[in-house]
């Protein structure tokens, strides 16, 4: 049974859950129980790594980055919400550990996978429908954005979704979700109208701004802590106008001009023209050396010879040496995101780490200097090595759009700049070195930001590294953490999605 102790510390309420439970049931036994539960179904839904099921098991075990792959004892493939409810109820009753995967795009092993346990693969929950009267799209949690964009563009609408169309819907939305439309419409998670969620006891409820509204707010940034979301109903965006996405490279000699105009966009440009969207990045590799670059978009008619003022410095030579390329030129968001999914094809090993700062031009130089210094020749010599250091602003209009829709769990009260580091490499033998490198750069950068008085508390969940497990949700602030804790106690009092779902970023105390 679960003992819950409430401890008052200062002005904050800290909830500490201490579980006194029977040992976890063996994963082999759990898979047998699951097989028995669904034995009468017309098609198999439980797959193990046996000679008879090896092909299906292998195809269901793929992840965007092999660095995140684990081998579950068996894989469960529900085709509807009631399948999920039956399975979760069984896992709760029998004390079986499990993991939940929508698209499998997480960088971190165990976040959407498990070794000794059951993997729930939601890919069969792939329905998509559009309600033109209310302007809402109903999306099964197992979809990938390429299918969502394709289905909705037939109605001249789209939704706030991944910039890489291969991402799964579920983890992206519950982690926040940065969209090409975010400067105008806020976080993708704030454009959720409602969710259908399976709770630990197998009960299925709908959460929205009108029912279970406190849970609904906690889900927006709550990841896998409250239940298994099987369906999202999303607000839609008019897609009748052309959509443009572009990638522009700049040489190392452009550094000063590049950072200067990046700073200008971060402090003014994203609010001045919210149809625009830019990620500022730099990369280092042994073959190509150092380069600057942007990934950007414009959600209206676009002329590269006469771009919108906030984009002009990156096209007209003000930032010298530009080499532009288009993912979509007056096309569609599906074309743009599908092409990016090809550029960012699965199969490469990645790690990630993130933090946030308040915009400061000198700090931008300092942070990139730390990253360059830590990117040693030993790292560059590793097969397939490349490292990227990127930042992106969250402006006033982004925050206002999110607040107007009821808010989320993030606790951001003023504009800031998200920063993230992403190395990639080929060999599993180098995994530990790359994770250590990522953490070392991140910690040094955070120290520099704090010394400059420009460190921002927030850390974006979808960019969090495997060693930031205890940093992400606490970065949302005490009031939001408390709200999440209280709703956790109400909706998951036995902490099933903490104890039995070991992966992911967890709510403190659970």
Residue 507 in any domain: the answer is no
* Together in a domain, 443 and 358: yes
* φ/ψ (deg, to 5) at 66: -60, -20
* Interval 225-237 mean pLDDT: 98
* pLDDT over 80 (residue 229): yes
Residue 62's domain comprises 20-123
User: Per the structure block, which two tokens stand in for 217?
Assistant: 């707010």
Name the nearest CA neighbour of 451 among 350, 357, 337: 357
- Over the stretch 198-215, which tens digit does the pLDDT of each residue have? 999 999 999 999 999 999
pLDDT at 22: 75
Residue 187 in any domain: the answer is yes
- Is residue 460 very low, low, confident or very high in pLDDT (cuts 50, 70, 90)? very high
* Together in a domain, 282 and 421: yes
* pLDDT over 80 (residue 9): no
pLDDT at 11: 32
Residue 166 in any domain: the answer is yes
- Over the stretch 300-320, which tens digit does the pLDDT of each residue have? 999 999 999 999 999 999 999
Identify whether the C-beta of residue 56 lies closer than 8 Å to the C-beta of residue 82: no
Q: How many other C-beta atoms can be found within 10 angstroms of the C-beta atom of residue 42?
A: 5
- Over the stretch 393-427, which tens digit does the pLDDT of each residue have? 999 999 999 999 999 999 999 999 999 999 999 99
* Together in a domain, 193 and 163: yes
* Together in a domain, 384 and 433: yes
User: What is the tally of structural domains in the chain?
Assistant: 3
* Together in a domain, 176 and 259: no
* Together in a domain, 347 and 312: yes
* pLDDT over 60 (residue 1): no
Its pTM surpasses 0.85 = yes
Residue 497 in any domain: the answer is no
* pLDDT over 90 (residue 70): yes
* Together in a domain, 441 and 323: yes
pLDDT at 114: 97
* pLDDT over 70 (residue 321): yes
Residue 169 in any domain: the answer is yes
Residue 316 in any domain: the answer is yes
- Over the stretch 347-363, which tens digit does the pLDDT of each residue have? 999 999 999 999 999 99
* pLDDT over 50 (residue 34): yes
Residue 319 in any domain: the answer is yes
Helices (H), 209-284: 213-219, 255-264, 270-272
Which of 182, 204, 239 is the endpoint of a domain? Answer: 239
* Together in a domain, 188 and 247: no
Identify whether the C-beta of residue 75 lies closer than 8 Å to the C-beta of residue 468: no
* Together in a domain, 333 and 413: yes
Residue 483 in any domain: the answer is no
Residue percentage of the chain with pLDDT more than 70: 96
d(CA 234, CA 162): 14
* Interval 500-509 mean pLDDT: 97
* Interval 264-277 mean pLDDT: 98
d(CA 60, CA 299): 35
pLDDT at 395: 98
- Is residue 333 very low, low, confident or very high in pLDDT (cuts 50, 70, 90)? very high
* pLDDT over 70 (residue 16): no
* Together in a domain, 294 and 424: yes
Q: Using only the alpha carbons of the chain, give its radius of gyration.
A: 23
- Over the stretch 119-143, which tens digit does the pLDDT of each residue have? 999 999 999 999 999 999 999 999 9
pLDDT at 66: 96
DSSP 108-160: STTTS--SSSEEEEGGG---EEEETTTTEEEEETT-BHHHHHHHHHTTTEE-S
* Together in a domain, 393 and 266: yes
* Together in a domain, 410 and 455: yes
* Residue 98: CATH number of its domain: 3.30.465.10
Which of 101, 123, 145 is the endpoint of a domain? Answer: 123
């Amino acid at each position: 049974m679960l003992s819950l102790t409430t401890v008052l510390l200062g002005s904050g309420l800290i909830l500490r859950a201490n579980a006194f439970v029977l040992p976890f049931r063996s994963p082999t036994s759990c898979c047998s129980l699951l097989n028995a539960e669904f034995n009468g179904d017309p098609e198999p839904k439980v797959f193990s790594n046996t000679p008879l099921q090896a092909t299906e098991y292998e195809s269901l075990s793929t992840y965007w980055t092999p660095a995140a792959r684990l081998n579950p004892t068996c894989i469960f493939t529900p085709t509807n919400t009631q399948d999920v409810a039956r399975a979760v109820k069984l896992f709760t009753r029998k004390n079986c550990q499990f993991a939940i995967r929508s698209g499998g795009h997480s960088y971190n092993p165990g976040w959407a996978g498990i070794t000794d346990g059951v993997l729930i693969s939601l890919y069969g929950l792939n329905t998509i429908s559009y309600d033109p009267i209310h302007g809402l799209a109903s999306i099964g949690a197992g979809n990938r954005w390429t299918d969502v964009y394709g289905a909705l563009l037939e109605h001249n609408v789209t939704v706030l979704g991944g910039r890489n169309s291969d991402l799964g819907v579920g983890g992206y939305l519950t982690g926040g979700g940065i969209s090409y439309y975010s400067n105008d419409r806020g976080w993708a998670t704030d454009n959720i109208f409602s969710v259908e969620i399976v709770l630990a006891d197998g009960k299925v409820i709908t959460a929205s701004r009108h029912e279970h509204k406190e849970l609904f707010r906690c889900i927006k940034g709550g990841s896998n802590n409250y239940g298994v979301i099987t369906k999202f109903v999303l607000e839609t965006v008019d897609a009748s106008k052309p959509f443009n996405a572009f990638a522009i490279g700049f040489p190392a000699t452009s550094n000063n001009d590049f950072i200067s105009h990046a700073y200008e966009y971060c402090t003014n440009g994203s609010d001045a023209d919210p149809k625009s969207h830019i990620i500022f990045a730099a990369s280092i590799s042994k073959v190509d050396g150092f380069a600057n670059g942007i990934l950007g978009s414009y959600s209206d008619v676009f002329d590269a010879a006469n771009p919108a003022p906030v984009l002009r410095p990156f096209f007209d030579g003000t930032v010298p040496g530009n080499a532009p390329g288009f993912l979509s030129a007056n096309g569609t968001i599906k074309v743009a995101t599908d092409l990016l999914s090809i550029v960012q094809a699965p199969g490469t090993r990645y790690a990630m780490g993130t933090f946030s700062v308040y915009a400061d031009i000198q700090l931008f130089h300092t942070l990139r200097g730390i990253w360059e210094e830590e990117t040693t020749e030993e790292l560059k010599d590793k097969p397939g090595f490349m490292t990227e250091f990127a930042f992106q602003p969250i402006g006033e209009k982004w925050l206002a759009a999110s607040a107007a829709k009821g808010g989320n769990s993030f606790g951001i009260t003023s504009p800031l700049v998200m920063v993230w580091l992403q190395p990639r490499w080929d060999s599993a033998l180098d995994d530990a070195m790359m994770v250590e490198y990522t953490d070392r750069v991140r910690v040094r950068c955070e120290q520099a930001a704090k010394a400059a008085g420009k460190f921002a508390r927030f850390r974006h969940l979808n960019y969090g590294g495997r060693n930031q497990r205890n940093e992400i949700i606490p970065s949302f602030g005490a009031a939001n953490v408390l709200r999440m804790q209280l709703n956790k106690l109400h909706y998951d009092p036995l902490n099933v999605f903490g104890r039995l779902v070991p992966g992911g970023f967890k709510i403190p105390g659970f």
